[in-house]
Structures are given as C-alpha cells and as structure tokens.
Structure 1
C-alpha cells in the first residue's frame, strides 16, 4: 500500500470533523507526510544544524591487513568505511541510500558481509563485498524475508545465518559453502534461532533459541548429521546472551543468569564437572564476550549501573590482565584482530559520539583510531548526567523501591522545564550515551532532561526486569508518576512544565502517562509508539508476534484481552488533554503505522491537539539524515510552543 491507498484508508478512519478541517489537511513533500505541523523557522534550523551534524563511528571488524571497518555517516546514511591506522583517513567503501547493518568481515579474506533492507522494512538481505574488486553479490533470496546474525566459521569457508525465508514466521538456520556458493537449511525447529559459534573444525555449531529476554535454550548442532543436542538449563528456564567454544574446541564459555540475578560469564568443560563462574563476584550483567582467534585471550564487558567496564583474561588460566583504562562511557561491540594481538572497541559517552579505540595487548597500550565530528561545537560545553534514584510506590524489604534515572541539568539555577525521555524495549536500558538533541535542549533552551529506567528495564537483575510483565504493565507507568512527584520536590525544576517523549514501547509509555497524569504533563512526543497492545499484536509482522506475546501477554486469552482493552491509550484517548506529537515510519514492521493513525484519530476526535508526521521511506525509527533532521527540528518547535511557553 503506497500513499494513495494510505490517504484513502485514512479518510475512512477519520471522523467528519477531521476530514473537513483545513487544520488537519495532509501535506505531502517527497516521502514526508504531515498534518497540523507549522513551518519550521529557518532560524531554528540554523541553530540546530551544528548539533544535527555530529556523527560517530562504530566498529565493524578487522580486515586481514590490520585495518578496521567502521560504520559512519558522511551523507544520508551510515555506510562502511576502512581505517588503516590510528586517526587515519576514513575510506568509504559502500555508497547506498539505505543504511547498512550486521557488518561481518570474512576470516582470511579481504571481504565482508553486510545486511541491507529497503525503506526501514527490516527485510534485510545479506550481501558479500569484495574489498579488492568492490564487487557486491547478494547471498540471500532477495524477497520478503529477514536474514540476520551472519556468522563465519573460523576458517571463513562457511557462513551461517538466521532467516525467515521458509515461512515468514520462524527463524531457520542456514549455512552457505563459500567455495561452491551452495546454501542449505541446517536447522528447522520453529521459533527464533540464532547461530552462536562454529567449532574450530567447522563441523559443529552452537545455537540458541530465544523465547524472551527471560528465556533462551542453548544447544549444539552437528552439521553433517543435522542432530540437535540441547544443553541442560539450570532451573529449566533462564536467559543467555552469548555462547562460544573455548580454544580447545570441547569446553564452552557462555553468559547466563541461571540461579542468579545477573547475567554471569561461565565456563563449562564437560570433562571437568559443573560449570565454573568466571564473573561470579561481579553483581552486574555481562553484556558481551569475544575470544581471540589465536585462543590466547578472552574479552568481556560489564554494565555497572549504566557504565561499561572491559576485562580481558589470558587463556587458558583465565588470569585477568591489566590494561589502560578506557574513558568512562558505554562499550558497544568489540573484536580481536586476526592475529589476536589487538582488541578494538566501540566507545560512546554522554559527551562524545561513538569512536573506535584499539588495545595493543602486548604492550599493553591504548590508541584512539577515530575522532568523530561534533559539528564544530565546543565539546567542553556538553553536559554529562548525574545518576539519581527516586522512590516509587512500592517497597523492597520494607523500604521504598527506588528507580534509577540519568539527570541532565542545564547550567544555571532554574527553575528549568523538564523533558522525561522514556526508552523503548521495554526490556532495554537507557544508557548515558551521546544525544545531540539532549545537548541542544540543555545548552540552547535550558531544558532539563530526565532519562529513567523504570521497572522492566534491563541491567538491574531479572527480578526488576520482570516487574512489568503481563498484568503488571501499568506499574511501570506508576514509576513515571513517582518521577513527577520527585520533580515537584526539586526547586531547580519546574513541575508545571514537564513533557514526555519516547519511541516504540517508550511511545506507549508517553501515551499512557498522558492518560494517567494529564494534569501534570504539559505535552508529549510519541515516536512509532504502541497505542493498543491488542491491535499491535494483530498487525505486527508474523515473525515478531510470539516474541512480543511473551512480554506483553497473549491477547488470545480472554482475561489478557480485557486487560489490554482496559489499559489501551486508544480506549482512554479522551483523557489525553495535552498537545501530542505523533511520528511514524510507514514501513515499520514492528509497530505498524496503524497504531499511529488510530491514536491521532481518537485524540483529535475528542478535541485534542495533535501534530502528525509520517515518513514513507522509514520503518521503526528514522535512519536517513534528512528525515531525522526534519523530525528533530519539528520536535524542538513542538517543545518551544507547548512546553516552554509560560
């Protein structure tokens, strides 16, 4: 369905007053469709321009010559570049209108695989890129399938990945022989499976079935016979996020929360008895795991209250080695060089975009390989947040439960207007990463920003993670009410000028907060948000439905359907009385555009003010710079008109 059909369907959705009102006339400019949006002043665009021209660089991996691949944006979208030395030039290798994902170098080859979709549809296809010839070959079916998690065998002769090509719902595992070009399904069990690691001889594959953030099932697949052996899981159900063969090809390193609150690094040698806790003395989640190609080192990252720590162990004795400290920040992906002597790391912080750093493990020494641009701004004026905790409505061990939040405070005494930014997921975690819009609000508009990790967020143990599941969904909204109470106790904050913003599940939280706290929230911005869990589950892509039922509840159960109806912002739209800005990508496979259309119709039908913005070439969020810039400018204008006004 393209724009003509969209307009027809919207006319059917719209009440007569909406269809006849000039104030909600649809305006089409290229791939942008809008309703009720004022023209963005040129002066505001100019003020924003430097902030919107910041950019970062994220690690893609290593090539055999010791250069690294990075993902960065010089034009409209993130593309692959090569950097050959510390702070060396970035040589752009790919030039597509669409952003790339899943960049995976091929061991022993001057080549890599990447994923690319069209218009944010997330039907990623995998492509082979030969760095020497610059030739590109599509490896997957090119159809309406999702192809993810590409993984090479250690010798580069095989490529494994997960694909929905067979039926559009289940993620089967495929393996391609890179010499012959022949691909075959090696695992067809139903559900969401991912390849985790090839054995050193390439004959076995560690695999993982993901049910929810609380439940995964690891196993080993014999590639010759197709026999799947599932590993025992302590307690019958636990979460896993990494699985790697040890260099001996027999034992494994993995990360799970079996019998513990946090995701813990473990080592299991089947000849040595029970699994051994490697990070058992650390009361925080392990978030990543890599083993060097030469088998001499293992690296893992820890999330300590939103700040990352990197540890490297010498193998096989698992002795921690001392390394120079990284700057304080959030670690993204990391990867050992082909010779195992270096370790590259992506690092982001609240005051600096993502950049790549490289450890020389022999020295040891740390070198910065990229220095990303900040639009000509004075980076010393960027402000880092304070980690605060505010009491909420329930108790733990007889004391009020506290909720963590990152508090960005402008310079000065206040009282400052406030934007509460709510993350999506819901099982994600807000981290103190660089956000140019936040820095603009702080510096240019003197608006404070609070970024809470309400119950249900990852990073604080599995008990906290499960506090919003099923019929507990609205308890996370009560945490926003508690944050509003906390704001009212702060003399430097203006409790009469509070806005909320969020995307995806965070968009639902915006709508739900505007329903429940209409008299305390001045305005809200909902980006690709859920307006009714029942309609969302009906219309989301088939391959996501069971995954989301595990979190939000199964709408086929009458009691859960009734609960979804009760809490739906769509069914309570008459209680949204503050101005609302709804933004959506038309190709969104996760939260369909109909979720946006129906809440816009409902709020307007009750006399509410709504700005509406749709990009026809975007999906679950805005990844093209022109679109992102326009949305950013429109958002600032919305805050100026509805939050900053006295």
Structure 2
C-alpha cells in the first residue's frame, strides 16, 4: 500500500482510502518482502456439521476477509460459499433437512452490528432476516426438531438483548418472547421444545439462569442463591428433569454440575479438577457431553456419560488450546479446533468408540519452518501483595528467542478483557518478532484475568483497578533480575483494556520503559463509559465502576491516562479503528491530541473501515509493518 500525500513536518500525515497515518514512515520494500511469508498464514474455524454428516461448514480467509467454506471429508478441498467484502462472523446449518441451507452473520466496517442472513443452498441466494440497522443479532439456537430457532437481538431499543423465536416456515417473522432488559442469551431448548434455558449476564462473576416457557413467556430462575454465581453454559438432560450447567457455585473454579429441577439441588461433577471447565457441547440424543478443561492455558477434552455421570479424558490429542466443540449428527464423533504456538487453528475430529483422530484442515504457514517458532515457557513472578502470608504470584507466558547474542530486549504484551486470559496460541507475527528481531515476549495474566479462579478474577474490580497496573511494575522487577534480558530496553503493548494497561504503565513506569503500543485502548474511563455503545454501558460499569456516581467518577478521572500525559515522555504508537463500538475512536483521538499538545510526537494509525481491532488483511499487514518499524526505531536502537 503506497501513500503519496505528506502534510507538514511536525505532524507528518498521510491518507489513503482506508488508512490515516500520522508520523508513520513509509514502509521499505525490504521489510514487506521479509514479512510476506509470516503474513500469509491462515487458520480454520469449525462453524457447523452438515446435517447429513457428510462434511463441515468452516470459516477461513483466502483473500481479504474471512468467509464460509465447505469441506466434504478430512483433508478435502475447501469450497468457498460466501464472497463478501466484509468478514462473515460465523454460520450454522439448519438441522431440519427440509431446509437446505444455513444461517450466518455479517457486520459492516467492524461496527459489530451483526445482521442475520439465511443462505439457501438450493439456489445459492442469501436473505436478510434481521432489521439491517444498528442492532446486534446472534446466530440462532436451533430447536431439537430444527424447525424453529431463537435469536438474541438489540433491535427493540439498541440497548437490551431480547430473545426472539421464529419458525423456518417464515423465518423473517420472529416473535419476541423475552424483553426483561439487560444482557440475555439462550443456552438450550428442552427435549420437547417447549422451554429453553436462558442466561442473564451481569458480570464475569455474576449471572443467573432461568427456564423460559416458549409459549407463555413465563420465567423461572433456577438455583436461587444469595451467593454471586457465574454461569458459563448449560444443556437439558435427556429426560428433561434436570440440566447440566457450568458454574462456580460453591466452587472456586467453573465446574460442570447437574441441577435437578424437582429437588432444586445442584450436584458437582468435576469438583476434583481444580481448573475451569471452559466449554462444552452435547450430542443429539443427550447421552454424551464433551467438555474442555483449561489447565493453566492448555486444554484437555473429557466426555461425560449423562446417565452414569462418569467422566473420561480423551487421550492422544496434541497439546494446545482447544475450542469449537461440536458433535457429528451421529453423536459418535466430536469435531473441534486445535491451536498450538507452532500451528494455527485447524479443524480435527475424533471418533469416541476407537479414539481415531482425523485432521480436516491443514492451514498454511507461509512456507515457513514452523519448528523454529518459539513455544512459551510458563513462568510466574511475585507481585506487591500477599496471600496467606506469602507473596502473590502472577502467571505469565515467556517467549524467549533462540540463538540471540547479548541481552535480549523485551515486549510485555497485555491482553484485553479485562476478564480474558493470555494463552499459548499461534501468532506468526510473534514468531517474526522473536525469530527476526530477536525480541522476547512476556504475556502476563495480571490479576483480573480469567482461568485462575473467581477470587483472582475479582482482584482488579472498581477501586482496585490500578492493582493490576502494579503487577506490570512487579514484572519489570522480575525482568531486571533475569541475566539474559535487557531491562533497559522494554516495550509495553496491548489492545482494548490491554491498551489502557499500556497507557497506565507509561504513566507509572515511564522511566523504566522505552516505548509503548496502544491498540484501541481506553484513555479516559469516564468518556469511555459515556461513549461506548448503549448495549455495553451497564455491563462495563459493573467491571470498572459507575461514572454517574460522583465519588467513582472522581476516582476514574484520577486513574485515567489521558489526565496524566505529562508523565509520558517515551514514544507512543496509537492504533485505532474508526467504527469501534466498544472503545470509541474518540478515546485514541483525545490521547493523541493531548500528547501532541505537550510536544510529544505520537505515531498514529486510524483504519476507516475497521472497528475493535483490524480484520482486513491489507490493514493488518500495514499495521504489522508499522509496529516493526516502531520497534526498530524506539526499542532496538
């Protein structure tokens, strides 16, 4: 991508049809040539099994954006079905074979107003089913017969997630069956298709599960308790007398449990496994549940016999991060996606009777030797506070480059969320940074991260927000003690909430950092909460605090990096999508302008056709080129 317009000297501005750049140098062809291989890797995601069992619907990118493809057998050719300029969010086949087709979602320019479409395989045409406006619409949850489906949508008022039900005979005429206000989602239809399990999400630590009568709209809460409980999935039992749910009720971790409707009793099933159950699915006959355990960032798959409650670990699956569990229509084969530090996400399936593993896709890695990609070491470092009289330890993944002479410069990469978790997954860009630039990457799971128990998740809420920033200070102390690392050359990089952490780290540890990269980050919590989309406001207030409360507003203003730009003297690169509904572009713009008003030269990249992060290949490529140039100039020199 070439730019030809240069305006001014102090603020060098260049603009194309998709990007606005300030102070970002032109990209040398030598860098483009070297990074091409690393930027031409692919991935695959399992969207749905085809109802007749003869193939899968999957998502991958072959040109600019991710689209849906069909694969008929393991290792088979990918046949592209959708061809849009905008990425497709996902797809799911209608289980009723009377209707040969699938639903899919798509937004525009990264605005996350996902619209629902029906793709008819009989004629190759697609039809808009949702309102086509500024609303969010989910993929459907199909009834057991497959002739009906539920959709969650904000179309009523743009704020609340309501639940609708529709019949495939007339899929455009969806009837609202729940409008309680707040954030609601559908878990599962009852075996007789008369009721559904629904979840009301309040925060990462609090939610409620109800039974909703599809015909009357009657709502009944299950497992009523004074305890704050977080739920993460649920399925009805085959006899309809209970439900298998994931929750942290009476437990530190997300545990698979069985709830009996008659006795109102909750019985734990995986309480002996002291890690989170991170996902699950059930087969059509409801005889078997498959679920994953997140063991310090690495996945294991188990099966549960729903009658005997016996659990069994599936052996022989390569170590990595596993997701996208989906049972084959025959109920005897399980599809999933596997990702490792050396291999991108690919689709596999395993037959449960003989544990035979099949690989459906083999995503390209640009012709690179992926055995040279660095696998991270799991480390921990002591932070500022104590637990039971001992220093609290913070887990992290440490990517150490090979064959580097001298002390190694470091990038601290901070995940978003804040309730997310850094995982040891594939990143060809990280591989470039470690292999070609010789930079170490450390990805900490600071307090407030998921995967380490519900009490760890609570450690950064409200007035404890900057305690997570102190964890970065403790990591800087750890880096200084490592003989192979160069504590005088440390950069901090992160996106979304991780972008806030980057900016906050710069205001607290400016003297100990060389530079920073802030991607779609929060710069002022008050303006962020005021300007984020309406459907997110209340959800984020639970986590960060309510800016409408004067005391909390004062605190949020006090910790907001935009109010402390005078403390930042090191180079800063700000990257933003114009259509971001989560962290509005105004957050990046105000940070940039305040830095510039103090005489600081900020690198700035704005993508006019992106939202909360970049998804189009040309934009991603240019962002990565610019990040490399920034690091070469401000970290490595």
Could you say which TM-score interval applies, normalised by the shorter chain?
A: over 0.9
Q: Paired residue for 2:215?
A: 224
Q: Paired residue for 1:54?
A: 41
How many angstroms apart in 2 are the aligned matches of 1:305 and 1:20?
Answer: 49
Alignment of 1:296 with 2:275, yes or no, is no
Q: Paired residue for 2:113?
A: 123
Q: How does 1:175-574 map to 2 (within 5 A)?
A: 175-181=165-171, 182-271=173-262, 274-321=265-312, 323-412=314-403, 413-574=405-566
Q: Give the SS at the match of 1:468.
A: coil
Note the C-alpha offset of 1:254. Answer: 0.2
Q: Give the SS at the match of 2:112.
A: coil
Q: Is the 8 A contact 2:414 2:495 kept in 1?
A: yes
Alignment of 1:138 with 2:133, yes or no, is no
How many angstroms apart in 1 are the aligned matches of 2:509 and 2:484?
Answer: 21
How many angstroms apart in 2 are the aligned matches of 1:442 and 1:315?
Answer: 46
How many angstroms apart in 2 are the aligned matches of 1:139 and 1:420?
Answer: 44
How many angstroms apart in 2 are the aligned matches of 1:627 and 1:559?
Answer: 41
Note the C-alpha offset of 1:102. Answer: 3.5
Q: Paired residue for 1:605?
A: 597
Q: Paired residue for 2:20?
A: 33
Note the C-alpha offset of 1:266. Answer: 0.3
Note the C-alpha offset of 1:601. Answer: 0.7
How many angstroms apart in 2 are the aligned matches of 1:641 and 1:582?
Answer: 15
How many angstroms apart in 1 are the aligned matches of 2:42 and 2:461?
Answer: 36
| Aligned with 1:69 (options 54, 57, 60) | 57
Q: Paired residue for 1:22?
A: 9
How many angstroms apart in 2 are the aligned matches of 1:290 and 1:639?
Answer: 43
Tell me which moved more, 545-554 or 60-69.
60-69
Note the C-alpha offset of 1:148. Answer: 1.8
How many angstroms apart in 2 are the aligned matches of 1:577 and 1:122?
Answer: 35
| Aligned with 1:581 (options 573, 576, 592) | 573
How many angstroms apart in 1 are the aligned matches of 2:121 and 2:295?
Answer: 38
Question: Which aligned segments of 4 or more residues in structure 1 are displaced greater than 6 angstroms?
Answer: none
Note the C-alpha offset of 1:20. Answer: 9.5
Q: Is the 8 A contact 2:92 2:139 kept in 1?
A: no
TM-score by length of 1: 0.95
Q: Is the 8 A contact 1:235 1:259 kept in 2?
A: no
Q: Paired residue for 1:45?
A: 32
Note the C-alpha offset of 1:376. Answer: 0.5
Q: How many residue pairs align between the two structures? A: 627
| Aligned with 1:164 (options 154, 164, 168) | 154
Q: Is the 8 A contact 1:102 1:150 kept in 2?
A: no
Q: Paired residue for 1:81?
A: 69
Q: How does 1:108-119 map to 2 (within 5 A)?
A: 108-109=96-97, 110-119=100-109
Note the C-alpha offset of 1:233. Answer: 3.3
Q: Paired residue for 2:85?
A: 97
How many angstroms apart in 2 are the aligned matches of 1:585 and 1:523?
Answer: 21
How many angstroms apart in 1 are the aligned matches of 2:369 and 2:170?
Answer: 53
- The CA deviation string for residues 513-566 of structure 1, in whole angstroms up to 9 with x for no partner, is 011000111000000000000000011000100000000000011111111111
Tell me which moved more, 490-499 or 294-303.
294-303
Q: Give the SS at the match of 1:643.
A: helix
Q: Give the SS at the match of 1:22.
A: coil
Structure 2 unpaired stretches of 5+: 1-5
Q: Give the SS at the match of 1:148.
A: coil
Q: Is the 8 A contact 2:11 2:601 kept in 1?
A: no
Q: Is the 8 A contact 1:506 1:529 kept in 2?
A: yes
Note the C-alpha offset of 1:346. Answer: 0.6
